Structure 1
Amino acid sequence: MSQVFSTQNKIAIIWDFDKTLIPGYMQQPIFERFEVDEYNFWNEVNTMAARYKERGYTVSGESVYLNHILTYAKAGRMPGLNNKLLRKLGKEIVFYEGLPGFFEELRAITRSKPEYARHDIQLEHYIVSTGLAEMIRGSAIAPYVDGIWGSEFIENPLQPGYLDQEDFPIESEDIISQIGTMIDNTTKTRALFEINKGSNKNETIDVNAKMPAEDRRIPFQNMIYIADGPSDVPSFSVIRKFGGKAYAVYKPGNDKEFEQNDQLLQTGRIHAYGPARYSSDSNTSMWLRMHVHKICQRIVSDREVYLRQNMAGPPRHLKDDPEVVDLEDELTQDTLDLD
């Protein structure tokens, strides 16, 4: 049976995290824990690339904040900061109104109509963030998602010569000391293709390998990407280019963020925008529910057209005399046709 019919019945809702699912930045509990001035930290981060440039160094703007956290930890300003603590601090993250329940509300749409259930339509939630994956894993939203992309730290890096000894002593403090993975606003698009091709579910699939559209696990037209603004333009562009939906959110009551979202709409970057409020009666919730229904309806329509075009009917008895009708045989044949 064709992959188009048998597998492409999944929907992916892909979420940014900071200022999309939460009002601010997820690192706030870290600053509160260690009594670090949050404003001063981000001011340092925002000016650091320029300061390094003055000294003859070129640094990645997206990696600066991760390295600055490492610097704080190594300098003793964030003592004992490790992945276990990051996950614990993730529990303190406060989400926007309606979350995490709204994630289940969207997932339930695929079971809301008999035709959706008949075609086994499934909805998956993913978070793709430049923030810290361990904090997201420890947050209240984690049980409701099917995958998380985020930046990660290593606590005890492998030492020189580790391949030559079976029991190599690692002499390192139990704090984060290296960047394991860095997600930036450009590499977020890689996550979109991993979801599209299914390499996030099957490690044998190389995300860079050429794959026919009909063999991909979740086609882009079955995706909705939700984020807070201009920094997500690369992901918005990929989603739109391949037929998915792009939606921007703003902090309720924030005129500047509202204006940014409107500019994204006017320049064709997104399909719509609304407040980052996920109660059942909000504009954002209604828009997302509507488009999940539309995707479900299209999946049903496409699969049923496929069935009509590709599934041959059962063989029928041939009559020698077309004028003679055997009623009993006709009734029996009709019953078989219904099956």
Structure 2
Amino acid sequence: FWKEVNSLEAQYREKGIRVNRDTLYLNHFLTCVDQGIFKGLNNAVLRELGKELKFYTGIPEIFKKLQDSVENNQDFQKFNIKVEHYIVSTGLAEMIRGSVVAQYVKHIWGCEFIEEPIKSSLHIREYKGKNSDSDDCEIKQIAYAIDNTSKTRAIFEINKGSNEYPHIDVNAKISYENRRVPFENMIYIADGPSDVPAFSVLKSNGGRTFAIYPKGDSRAFNQVNQLIRDGRIDMFAEADYSEGTTTFMWLMENVNQIAANIYNRKSEQIKRSVSKPPEHINE
């Protein structure tokens, strides 16, 4: 499947058709369903397949450990400071929802399919597909697509709170103090050059960035090493999230630094807001 996907861009270019390489695989999924190669593929199947996803060592355990490190700190809890996890992926959202990490994340951005397209009301192009109550439900259209550039939109949705409050337009102007998650309270973790747009948004707005590479993969190591030389990321390490590793210690330290900064900032705001009591005047 992926060998075919990787060859599609060149084939379509020969036909004079420009395609998005990040999301072209979604179209090929639909092609395979239409040809009967992936017969019966639907969102329920994708979610079930998500149970088979394998993650790097230390995942999902690190999600809970990072949250506990802040929630068990009495000072941090004076201001109800919490750690939230989000996934922004060019992969399939339904598979992520079916995986072991889903229970630890607050929101997932990923690519999605429609099984039953809404019929058109235009008589001249009346929809002639299968009935909506058909038992042989399959994916038919792309519902939502995330590519490496549109990941930055998800970051702004988190920043402004659009993902929590749908009435907030992500393009609306919102003052810094009214943004739900300031950029400096974010850490973006990814695996390489394809995430440069997201890295850049975080870095330029005071956020923190961390890249990982698979153990023993010298090509991936060189890629993330170049990112730190270019100033795109703050740190990189091997993709192992278990306790005692560089990745675990860096994340734990920076999560707690951010929480401490929030605590100090809010404490200072309270001090400034409290006026001094009246004093006796000595004559």
Structure 1 length-normalised TM: 0.78
Alpha-carbon deviation of 1:161?
A: 2.3
Q: Deviations over 1:119-167 (max 9, x none)?
A: 2111100000000000000000000000000000001111222999xxx
Query: What is the match of residue 187 of structure 2?
Result: 224
Paired residues for 1:137-286 under 5 Å:
137-161=97-121, 169-170=131-132, 173-286=136-249
Q: Which amino acid aligns with 2:93?
A: A
The question of whether the paired residues in 1 share the 8 Å contact of 2:87 and 2:107 is answered with: yes
Task: Name stretches of at least 5 consecutive residues in structure 2 with no aligned partner.
Answer: none
Q: Deviations over 1:50-102 (max 9, x none)?
A: 11111122222122100001111111111110000000010111111111111
Alpha-carbon deviation of 1:112?
A: 3.2
Paired residues for 1:99-114 under 5 Å:
99-114=59-74
The question of whether the paired residues in 2 share the 8 Å contact of 1:158 and 1:170 is answered with: no
2:80 to 115, 120, 125: 120
- CA distance in 1 between counterparts of 2:204 and 2:175 reads 17
Q: Which amino acid aligns with 1:199?
A: S
More deviation, 108-117/84-93: 108-117
Structure 2 length-normalised TM: 0.93
Task: Name stretches of at least 5 consecutive residues in structure 1 with no aligned partner.
Answer: 1-40, 324-339
Q: Deviations over 1:216-241 (max 9, x none)?
A: 00000000000000000000000000
Q: Which amino acid aligns with 1:117?
A: Q
More deviation, 274-283/108-117: 108-117
Q: Which amino acid aligns with 1:160?
A: S
Alpha-carbon deviation of 1:258?
A: 0.8
Q: Which amino acid aligns with 2:148?
A: N
SS in 2 for 1:91: helix
- CA distance in 1 between counterparts of 2:120 and 2:71 reads 54
2:94 corresponds to 1:134: yes
The question of whether the paired residues in 1 share the 8 Å contact of 2:23 and 2:90 is answered with: no
Query: What is the match of residue 63 of structure 1?
Result: 23
How many residues were matched structurally?
Answer: 277
2:268 corresponds to 1:308: no
- CA distance in 2 between counterparts of 1:86 and 1:60 reads 22
SS in 1 for 2:22: helix
Identity %: 48
- CA distance in 2 between counterparts of 1:188 and 1:115 reads 34
